[in-house]
Amino acid sequence: MNFKGVLLLKRDGFDYYEDKSGRILSFPFSLAVVNSLEIVNLEELKKQIKAFVEINKVLRADLLIILSADILFEKDIQTQDPNIQSQETQKFLDIVPFESISTKLLPMEQGLRVITVNKNLVDAIRTSFEETGFVIEGIVPYESLGQFSGINSLDIDASKTIIGQFDSLKEASFDFERGQKKTIPQIESQKDTSKATSLRLYIMLGIFGLLLLVLILLIVIGG
């Protein structure tokens, strides 16, 4: 059985919960490494995280990263009109102060919530742990935590609940293949492209099966 861990990423550092031992460890960011959510020195950050793992003898684990409210940029769009949603989303993304972002759209009863994070920051944390032997299973916004969505630090109760919901929370993970500021139509277009690719695959397999059947019939008749 693989060990599991939870990392709560905050503006000033992160908290880490190790399921095996039940420990909660804190890692503060130095301003010389991370300042105002921007990576100042990536290599030094990697060195510090590696030292954090080694000094504390943190077990390599399947890791779930939770994004706290203070590192996210969010906007609620109070309309069901897709055209207005698209326009408002674009306006919002244009003012987010990062060139490389990851965006998640959460449906709401009266509209849509747009959630954005600095992709470079999250990628830096992800790759730092991956290079140390961890497996990142998901990167999840705080809203997905339900009763613990308001937490600004990890405690035992919240950590155990997150571990208990580990697999379901992975489904709420950000898609970090998107690095640019994309609008709703562009995001939906990606989904449509994926569906079209699957459909073409099924058609090709069907044609191949039909040709194979014809070949078999020709061999039988010719024999």
Q: How far, rounded to the nearest angstrom, does the alpha carbon of residue 119 sit from its chain's CA centroid?
A: 10
DSSP 8-state class, residue 220: H
Q: Please give the average per-residue pLDDT across 108-132, as a whole number.
A: 94
pLDDT above 70: percentage of residues in the chain: 83
Other CB atoms within 10 A of residue 166 CB: 16
Q: Is the dihedral of CA 207, 209, 215, 220 positive or negative?
A: negative
Burial 167-181 (b: 16+ CB within 10 A, else e): eebeebbbeeebeeb
Query: Is the pLDDT confidence value at 206 over 70?
Result: no
Q: pLDDT digits over 133-186, tens only?
A: 999 999 999 988 888 878 889 999 999 999 999 988 988 787 644 444 444 454
Tokens of 32: 């010389």
Q: What is the pTM of this model?
A: 0.77
CA distance 77 to 161: 30
Which pLDDT band, with edges at 50, 70 and 90, does 220 fall under? Answer: confident
